Amino acid sequence: MYFGYAVKTGLFGNLKYMKILGEQSSLVVAEYECKMDVTQPRQGVYDWGDCDAIAQLADNLDLRFIH
């Protein structure tokens, strides 16, 4: 069984949040950073930066990432 949180990159600097995330979850879901309006702010212009940051966080903490 997996247990996780919806995360957003704006909280990555919050040490208490990150500690709880790493200790009490087995997966993360992007709150909104991987949605189309964020990854493609204008037609033909893509920015995967925040989505990639969440994927990297999951990898660093050995968590499953669902986007």
At 1, the pLDDT band (50, 70, 90 cuts) reads confident
Instruction: Please tell me the predicted confidence (pLDDT) of residue 67.
Output: 83
Report the distance separating Cα 37 and Cα 58, nearest Å: 22
Would you kindly state where each structural domain of the chain is located, as residue ranges? 4-66
Tell me the pLDDT tens digit for each residue of 26-65: 999 999 999 999 999 999 999 999 999 999 999 999 999 9
Torsion angle in degrees (nearest 10) through CA of 52, 54, 56, 60: 180
Tell me the pLDDT tens digit for each residue of 5-14: 999 999 999 9
Which residues lie closer than 8 Å to 49 by C-beta, 6 or more apart? none
3-class SS letters over 15-38: HHHHHHHHHHCCEEEECCCCCHHH
Percent pLDDT > 90 in the chain is: 96
8 A C-beta contact, residue 51 and residue 13: no
